[in-house]
Amino acid sequence: MLSIRIDDENTTVTNSTCQTQWTNKTSELFGIIYVSQLKHYPDFDCDKFGDRVVERISKGLQGQAVEEPTYLFGMVERGDTLFFMEQFIDGRRMVSPTIDDIEELRISNRMTANFLPSHGCIQFDKLNSVRHVIIALLYFYAVNGYKLTICKHCGRWFATKSLKELYCSKNSSFPGYERYTCGEAVKRIKDKLERKRLSEYERLHLKAMEYGVNSRHSEVFNSFCQTCSTFKAELKHGASVELLQAYKDYLYDSENVRPKYERIKNW
Ligand SMILES: [Zn+2]
């Protein structure tokens, strides 16, 4: 049997059968569950889920080996949670759950538990599946005006009250910046890349001035300016790990921005 206690900061899920508790940030929990399930079922296909269930049951009936289950909050997991989440997300990049939507989910998933009134938080007891845990969480999001969106840096789902918030509060996976949250890491990486861009800009500009407008140096300088402004325009829409890495590679490792003596030095 599971229970859940949710406030604005943290959510604690308790499994009374195995007497274990899991506490996560409320805004991150939906994304954490989703990512954990994607890791277990990387090639998951909602359309084939029903066939897999039938196949497993018939194998079981014939005494054949079936694939080992995984566990989520101490409950046996065979892809049901991911199926449920995929159906709920339904290909959207942003979900604004309403109380009516969640009420519908609650009824269709035969969730009879009601929330227990408690000061400043929502609590549900006697939940018999992870689905019900997720419905309780979605109910909290709906009641408190949270929207679910995808972090533009790490790509994970997170809950936020303002869609102006582009980045989640989980740690970045950008090499060297893992100790910062996505939002902090983006700011620091962009600052660092901007400093590098300015120093390259000055160096290439001087060369272009020295050799004149028809020189190859001018061509290199113009192409550098063009490429950097394209990267910067894209970054305004969201600084994903991949995009920042591509910009970093360009600023530090591409042919034109690297002084020749450095290339020789690195041999
Ligand atoms: Zn993130």
Where exactly are the structural domains of the chain? 2-160, 182-253
For residue 168, how far is its CA from the centre of ligand 1 (angstroms)?
4
CA of 102 to the centre of ligand 1 (A): 25
What whole-number distance in Å separates Cα of residue 234 and Cα of residue 218? Answer: 25
Q: How far is the CA of 173 from the centre of ligand 1 (A)?
A: 9
Mean pLDDT of 18-37: 96
What's the mean per-residue pLDDT of the chain? Answer: 90
The CA 6 to ligand 1 mean position distance, Å, reads: 21
Residues in contact with 227: Cβ distance below 8 Å, sequence separation at least 6, in sequence order: 250
- Residue % of the chain over a pLDDT of 70: 96
Report the alpha-carbon distance of residue 158 to residue 75 in Å, rounded: 23
Average pLDDT over residues 129-138: 96
The tokens of 17 are what? 């059968």
Could you list which residues have their CB under 5 Å from ion ligand 1?
Answer: 151, 153-154, 168, 182
Structure tokens at 189: 């990486």
Mean pLDDT within 218-224: 94
CA distance readout (Å), 258 to 203, 216, 249: 10, 15, 11
The model's confidence at residue 49, banded by pLDDT at 50, 70 and 90, is confident
164: CA distance to ligand 1 center in Å? 14
* Average pLDDT estimate for 173-188: 97
Query: What's the rounded mean pLDDT across residues 45-55?
Result: 78
Compute the distance from residue 167 Cα to the ligand 1 centre, in Å: 5
Cα(245) to centroid(ligand 1), Å: 15
33 CA distance to ligand 1 centroid (A)?
14
Q: What pTM was computed for the model?
A: 0.84
Q: Which is nearest to 42 in space by CA: 81, 79, 2?
A: 79
CA distance 233 to 247: 12
The pair of three-digit structure tokens given for residue 216, joined into one six-digit string? 């190859």
Cα–ligand 1 centroid distance for 3 (angstroms): 27
Q: How far is the CA of 186 from the centre of ligand 1 (A)?
A: 10
Instruction: Report, as an integer, the average pLDDT of 85-114.
Output: 93
| Residue 260 pLDDT > 60 | no
User: Ligand 1 centre and the CA of 231: distance in Å?
Assistant: 20
pLDDT band (50, 70, 90) for residue 190:
very high
Element (H, E) at 183: helix 182-211
CA distance 267 to 264: 5
